[in-house]
Structures are given as C-alpha cells and as structure tokens.
Amino acid sequence: SSSSVEPTNNESVASTAPTAAAVANHNANNNNLIGSQPSVIVPKQNRKRRNEGPSANYLHPQSNFIDNDTTSSSSMESSREIQAYYHLNEDDMILTDDVLMCPFIFRSQDAVLCGALSECVMPGMLRACFGPTNKLSNVEMIFDAMGFCQQLERASGNDSLAQIIPNSLEMALSPISDEARVITQSKAPFPIVSVNEAWTRVTGYTQVDVEGKDLSILNGRETKEKNSDIESVAKGQCSCSVNVHYDVNGRDFFSFVCSYPLTNLKNEVTHLLHVFQELPARE
C-alpha cells in the first residue's frame, strides 16, 4: 500500500509515485533553479505520514525508486551512485534575437560518499541558437576542460587517471619528466625541432644530434614504414601505433607511439607531438 504526505509549499502530493502533474507543479514553484534532472518530491524527516506501519513507503532522496521502512541503511548506502547535473538560473539568462546565453554550474553529487576526496564543480557558459520557427538549432557549452580534468584527478586521488594532452606548442614544450616527447614540424619531411630528456634516455639521441633530421633516424631493419599515420596527424587527426625502433647504439626496442597535432590560435596545425613509450622486451 502507498502512503501520502501532507502538502507543504503549495505542493499537492497524492502518493509516493511522482506523477507528471506533481513534478510539473513542483518545478513551477522552484523555477529559480533549473536542473538537468527532473525534480522529485521528497518527504522530509519532520513531515507526518498518515499511513504509519511496516508497509508505508517513501521516495529515497537520491534515487528514483520506492523504498520500504524496513530497508536497512547499509543497503541504501550500497545502492548510492555518483550523479551529476547542471544548474541554470533564469535571472542570469540573456535573450537577444534568436540567441540565448547564460552561465551554468555543473556539479557532482554523492561523489564523496562513494569514495572520492571531493565533489567536482565546473562553471561555464551556455549559448543556444534557435531557428526561424523557434526550434533549437544548436547548443554551445564553453568551460575549462583542462581544469576540469585536473579537478577529476584531485578528487580521485590518482594523478595518472586523466592524461592531459597538449594541443599547442607552448604546452608541449612544458617540462615533464615521465613522458618521452619529440616535436616535429607539420610539413614533410617533418623535421625534428625539439626533444626532451626522457626521449633522450630512451633513444640515446640528444637535441644536438637530431635537430633538422626526421624520425627516420630511429628506423632499422624491422621497422615498418607508416608515412600515412604522420600525414593524417598533420591533417589534425591523432594516431597511435606500435613499431620496432633502434636507439643510437643500434639496440632495437618495441615502442608505443602516440602522435598529436599542435595548433595555433587560428586552429592551424603548426607542429606534431610524438610521445614514445618503450614496451617490455620481446621473448
């Protein structure tokens, strides 16, 4: 049997199942904040319930399912999941012609209760365009993607969870000790312009050794030529491959190479970043 709660704040609640009318009425009374998830009516602890007894039901605050009074707190904890939603404030919306703009806040919920070190909060700006018939044509959301990735790393307590890929020459040249990086120009024959110390430790080649040369200096008898891969990166596509390369002393080694395009402010590909990772020796 279902129970009902006394209406508060002009809410009309007939049963614990949130009908479309009840949800719409609840959202209408709380239109200052719009979320990506529909609001559900949740009885608070101080609300009286008319149908007391073991069969009385209520809506769990964080889940869209009916729970019984006899359900233990441990089972409720095990069913909790991390949720995320957007907050928009109607007072901050700006509408000009067919364009609507407003700030938003993206939040996680229950991340700490599920083991994270902190909740994640990301502010941003939304821009929505509408067509002649007032239909939504496109939505653009602008936010700090790199900052959000770093926030996810801190919340998880694992610095290696989210790898941040440089997309500009300045970022690719930033000091980093655990990645073997080599940067080439984006035009054939793709001459090398910079290598870091980690790449020198793997290959034995220094900056002076490779300036003006291309990555073919690492090729040898068992290396498979893959010119199409680097050409696709020069067109703006990322590429990953496994190949046999040779260091300055002729030692062969398996390497996993990820290549990324680096662009300027005009979104033009100016350089290519290649990250080498030496794989375990073959048996």
**Each residue of 170-206: pLDDT tens digit?**
888 888 778 899 999 999 889 999 999 999 999 999 9
pLDDT of residue 31: 42
Structure token pair of residue 169: 């020459």
Sign of the alpha-carbon dihedral angle for 235, 238, 242, 248: positive
Instruction: Tell me the mean pLDDT in the region 252-268.
Output: 92
pLDDT of residue 24: 41
**Each residue of 219-246: pLDDT tens digit?**
998 888 776 788 899 999 999 999 999 9
By C-alpha distance, which of 125, 128, 151 is closest to 138?
128
**pTM score:** 0.50
Instruction: Tell me the mean pLDDT in the region 6-32.
Output: 41
Least confident of 13-22, 193-202, 249-258: 13-22
**Each residue of 40-87: pLDDT tens digit?**
333 444 443 444 444 333 333 443 444 444 444 555 555 678 899 989
pLDDT of residue 73: 52
| Whole-angstrom distance, CA of residue 115 vs CA of residue 61 | 19
Instruction: Tell me the mean pLDDT in the region 111-128.
Output: 91
By C-alpha distance, which of 249, 227, 248, 222 is closest to 239?
227
**Each residue of 126-179: pLDDT tens digit?**
999 999 888 999 999 998 887 888 888 888 887 655 567 888 898 888 887 788
Question: Amino acid letter at 172?
Answer: A
By C-alpha distance, which of 219, 169, 175, 166 is closest to 197?
175
pLDDT of residue 54: 40
pLDDT of residue 203: 93
What is the CA angle 197-167-256, rounded to 5? Answer: 50
| Whole-angstrom distance, CA of residue 234 vs CA of residue 187 | 7
Q: How far apart are the first and last CA of the chain?
A: 67
| Whole-angstrom distance, CA of residue 58 vs CA of residue 61 | 9
Mean pLDDT for the chain overall: 75
Instruction: Tell me the mean pLDDT in the region 209-213.
Output: 89
pLDDT of residue 171: 87
